[in-house]
Amino acid sequence: MAAFAPSTGISMPVTQLNLHRAELEYERLQRCKPSYIGNIELDAGNNNIWNVLLLPPRPPYNEGAFRLRITFPSDYPFKPPHFRLMTAIYHPNIDERGMMCLPLLQYDNWKPAMTVENAIQSLIFLLDDPEPERPIRLDLAEQLLKDNKAFMEAAQRETKEHAEKRPSS
């Protein structure tokens, strides 16, 4: 199956078109990197995997940097990318393996017009404002609802212990 790539004016197989879309997004993010992204690197030998250093802007995560691994399916952008946080984080919507509950990345919610930048921004919003009503880690959601101060202190302590050091500005 072939598709027409409007920016180039040529037809190419869908898989190549999909890789081209991810490539364009990568180049755009490299040129216009938001402040909450420290860096983006392609996985060695596999351009379908990105390693992103996230710099959350607000407490309790703003004193650390977090590695995000983004894997693109062969039918991207028609299917969402897969996100996994590689750095441990104390958060009710992200489990111990880095899997997250992010509605934008669910198949039913994802639209081809969405970008990886939209999804990363959605993750940053989730870090800034956890959603205890949709938890993966019930104990942390309960703590957040019952004792916000204790949650924030624990999250800040865990960030200092497990997160990467932020790059110098």
167 within a domain of the structure (yes/no): no
Residue 32: active-site member: no
- Specify if 50 maps to a domain: yes
- Per-residue model confidence as pLDDT tens for the chain (169 residues): 444 344 444 444 445 556 689 999 999 999 999 999 999 999 988 889 999 999 999 999 999 999 999 999 999 999 999 999 999 999 999 999 999 989 999 999 999 999 999 999 999 999 999 999 999 999 999 999 999 999 999 999 999 999 999 998 6
pTM to 2 decimals? Answer: 0.87
Whether residue 94 is contained in a domain is answered as yes
State how far the Cα of 32 lies from the Cα of 79, in Å rounded to an integer.
24
User: Please, are residues 161 and 125 in contact by the beta-carbon 8 Å criterion?
Assistant: no
Three-state DSSP string of the chain: CEEEECCCCEEEEHHHHHHHHHHHHHHHHHHCCCCCEEEEEEECCEEEEEEEEECCCCCCCCCCEEEEEEECCCCCCCCCCEEEECCCCCCCCECCCCCECCHHHCCCCCCCCCCHHHHHHHHHHHHHCCCCCCCCCHHHHHHHHHCHHHHHHHHHHHHHHHCECCCCC
User: Residue length, the chain?
Assistant: 169
Q: Helix crossing, 116-128 with 14-31: angle to 10°?
A: 50
**Would 130 be classed as within a structural domain?**
yes
Residue 35 lies in a domain: yes
In this structure, are strands 10-13 and 46-54 parallel, antiparallel, or unpaired?
unpaired
Asked if the structure places residue 124 within a domain, the reply is yes
Which residue out of 88, 101, 114, 152 is catalytically annotated?
A: 101
Supply the range of the domain harboring residue 14: 6-162
Number of compact structural domains in the chain? 1
Is 1 within the bounds of a domain?
Answer: no
* Cβ-based neighbours of 46, under 8 Å, separated by 6 or more: none
CATH code at position 88: 3.10.110.10
Q: Is residue 25 part of a domain?
A: yes
